[in-house]
A and B are shown apart, each in its own frame.
Chain A
């Protein structure tokens, strides 16, 4: 039986002629099969989940094909694919588990696909190994080839030689992660976690500049997706980038001059402000089915009316934000900010601008960690909710601090302290969600309009029930806070924080 290697090697197409003419020891190559060329559109999520999981998704002739390159599954798909949940049932839909449900599929580019199979034959005329080749060619002439050696049982030497040959040919090729870049001219790689280069001794101002300079392009890359309303993750990522920028400015205080810090804070805060409403409505609409599960069927009509209103509000909020993102003023502002942080020369330095990044980060992390411990120590079952909110905010700050400064520390060390913090944040986050939702629902009640309208009464009943449920949820989460903090504050975590952030030693 043929045994295939799962991931093909990316080769330059120039290698094909070489493969067709070069003997492999005593074996000679022969073309076994050649398919006709087809035009296909390559689909992936904006952040490339499919390529990252070493798969390619193509759509041609009303069919979707998914595979690691040469071996693939196929299913009927008459329409250009969007969300995986909306695809017709079939093996490709099942195989797309790597795509997050909130992410829509998008066309990455189009290319011509042609398959070629070579057989490596011995002096008896027996095939000892096969080579599957898939040639991808873009209109611009950009091309690449996926090569997958196919082992035949019992011919271990032949397959080893073929694999070595392929490896040699592909040694200088950009490889699988850069497949879209190689094939589609102008294609831009997107990551929600941009890499920021920093060293322990980097002056703090340079580190902060670098963090902001890396996140402004991330905001910009998401703009088109927000405007086109492809999926809700574009706005989510846009806001994450903005939040990181705002956090690094406020947390590393003293890096910029006092006025400069205040100006930057207010400028980025103003950029965040118009996104909040749309994001809140996105979250409501995404969790629609959860609400339905919470309520008895007789309250469902009210829920439907409520979500119809939310949809209307969302459409308006989206139109407003899209308009802003497309305005010349916004464009000019972003260009100015990009330039400002790329060069950094026009930024006014503050008293702590020259502090070494590592030491500065350590002192801040330690300070916030101590603050968390202090607040948490005072929390009992009867402490007012304000204290819990204060704890949540401090945890959030600590998390941002650690994430921003992560490149200054060993990955595994950081992981060890972030993990327990994340668990504590889950409890606090859920507690906060219940509180915020009650506030939002109350505010929504205020916008309902005349009570004599039947629809409004139905909505009010539903909202009332939901507020009651949210309140129950809040109480349940509140009860977990003490235990969650105790779990976070283990001796191990205490020691880790102490060793990592409160010793004068240089990092490992």
Chain B
């Protein structure tokens, strides 16, 4: 089972859209996928029309493994399930620790329901910042959307510094340019500078700023399902393919 975190220490960068479309693409290629909606603001469950579980906001939730597995909902797409959650940062840390610990009741429960997943995708809250080393240690890969602006460049740099100073595997970071607008000279320049500075930490695939992605909230479906032939959908496909390649899948 691979754990992929979709993370950004800055909000509004297209993180949830990425998680939703990556989850769809992973499931479509036959991987049994669980998308955990851990970001109260991200609402990836909203895009899949799954109502948030009331039970999940309760503090005692993670003490009860069964309640975790019972909260999982099938999406309308084959091989793709959703864990709709509104959880605190503290809960999230425990969640990750249990996900990784083979002896944990959580993992046992996942096995027990015979619905072990090939990939678990975490749509992480944006505010975990430097405090949650656990996320970075637990995940096999961390996908980081970066808008090619000066501010985003700084946050990516902070993230990389954090990895270096905390002895975390920097190669787990898979940044990519998000909401790219070809007409903006700033975007072009920033991307050029960043590719030079961060090299392999940035993927080749990039996601354009597209109305189809904005309209995801109206359609309440991944772009890959609602507009599969659009440029945005193709970009997510390319991102998915490149990410799997980088994760050795």
Chain A interfacial positions (CB closer than 8 Å to B): 1-2, 119, 122, 124-127, 152-155
Contact = CB atoms under 8 A, between A and B. Distances in A.
A125 B76 CA distance: 10
A124 B48 CA distance: 9
A154 B72 contact: yes
A126 B72 contact: no
A126 B75 CA distance: 8
Contact of B49 (A2, A124, A153, A154): A124
Contacts of B71: 154
B34 to A, nearest CB: 9
B79 interface: yes
B30 to A, nearest CB: 12
26 contacts: A1-B79, A1-B81, A2-B74, A119-B76, A122-B49, A124-B49, A124-B50, A124-B51, A124-B220, A125-B49, A126-B51, A126-B76, A127-B76, A152-B73, A152-B74, A153-B72, A153-B73, A153-B81, A153-B115, A154-B70, A154-B71, A154-B72, A154-B73, A154-B74, A154-B81, A155-B73
A117 to B, nearest CB: 12
B193 interface: no
Given A1-B79, A1-B81, A125-B220, A155 B49 contact: no
A155 B48 CA distance: 14
A126 B81 contact: no
Contacts of B51: 124, 126
B240 interface: no
A119 B51 CA distance: 17
Q: Which residue among A119, A125, A127, A153 has the maximum number of chain B CB atoms within 10 Å of its CB?
A: A153
Contacts of B220: 124-125
B32 interface: yes
A122 B74 CA distance: 14
A2 B78 contact: yes
Given A1-B79, A2-B74, A152-B73, A126 B49 contact: yes
Max chain B C-beta neighbours (<10 A), residue from A1, A2, A153: A1
A126 B78 contact: no
Nearest to B78: A2
B175 to A, nearest CB: 31
B48 A126 contact: yes
Contacts of B32: 1
A49 B49 CA distance: 45
Contacts of B49: 122, 124-126
Nearest to B83: A154
Nearest to A119: B76
A127 B74 CA distance: 9
Nearest to B46: A124
B36 to A, nearest CB: 14
Interface centre among A119, A122, A126, A155 (most CB of B within 10 A): A126
A334 B72 CA distance: 66
Nearest to B82: A154
A124 B45 CA distance: 11
A126 B50 contact: yes
A412 B73 CA distance: 46
B148 to A, nearest CB: 35
A479 B165 CA distance: 84
Contacts of A124: 49-51, 220
Nearest to B32: A1
A1 B32 CA distance: 8
Contacts of A154: 70-74, 81
B133 to A, nearest CB: 31
A2 B81 CA distance: 9
Given A2-B74, A119-B76, 11 more contacts: A1-B32, A2-B78, A124-B51, A124-B220, A126-B48, A126-B49, A126-B76, A153-B115, A154-B70, A154-B71, A155-B74
Nearest to A1: B115
A122 to B, nearest CB: 8
Contacts of A125: 49, 220
Interface in B111-128: 115
A104 to B, nearest CB: 38
B141 to A, nearest CB: 23
Nearest to A124: B49
A2 B32 CA distance: 11
Q: Ordered nearest first, which 10 A-B pairs have the shortest CB separation?
A: A154-B73, A152-B74, A126-B49, A153-B74, A124-B49, A127-B76, A125-B49, A1-B115, A154-B72, A153-B81
Contacts of B79: 1
B152 to A, nearest CB: 33
Contacts of A1: 32, 74, 79, 81, 115
B32 to A, nearest CB: 6
Interface string B19-56: 00000000000001000000000000000111100000
Contacts of B70: 154
A127 to B, nearest CB: 5
Nearest to A32: B76
Contacts of A155: 73-74
Interface in B69-93: 70-74, 76, 78-79, 81
Nearest to A154: B73
A342 to B, nearest CB: 55
A127 B77 CA distance: 10
Contacts of B76: 119, 126-127
Contacts of B50: 124, 126
B225 to A, nearest CB: 13
B68 to A, nearest CB: 12
Interface in B100-119: 115
A388 B114 CA distance: 56
Interface in B145-195: none
